[in-house]
Amino acid sequence: MPYFVKWKLHGQDQVLSNELAYPRASDAMDFACGVLGQKPNDVWVEDEHGSRIADEIKIIRHCMKPTKNRPTQIRSARTSSS
């Protein structure tokens, strides 16, 4: 099942998307982690039917998990602000 990342920026009603279908929800959420850097008003992951399968909170939790692509990026940011 393909998954898509969509987001809205502050002060805009337009829904943005990179129009790339991801084969796994976790792949889409990896991309959504980068979208969070734009400080969107809203970000989510949809399935092929347009149903939200991950909201901003779920994406942020996913981004906090270390992976090969993002070893400690978010954790480092949290540590430096302490």
Residue range 30-68, pLDDT digits in tens: 999 999 999 999 999 999 999 999 999 999 999 998 766
- Which pLDDT belongs to residue 19? 85
CA distance 51 to 32: 16
Buried b / exposed e across 18-52, counting CB within 10 Å, b at 16+?
Answer: eeeebeebebbbbbbbebeeeebeebbbbeeeeee
pTM: 0.77
Q: Which domain holds residue 13?
A: 3-80
What is the end-to-end Cα distance of the chain in Å, rounded? 40
For residue 78, what pLDDT band results from cuts at 50, 70 and 90? Answer: very low
Domain total of the chain: 1
For residue 69, what pLDDT band results from cuts at 50, 70 and 90? Answer: low
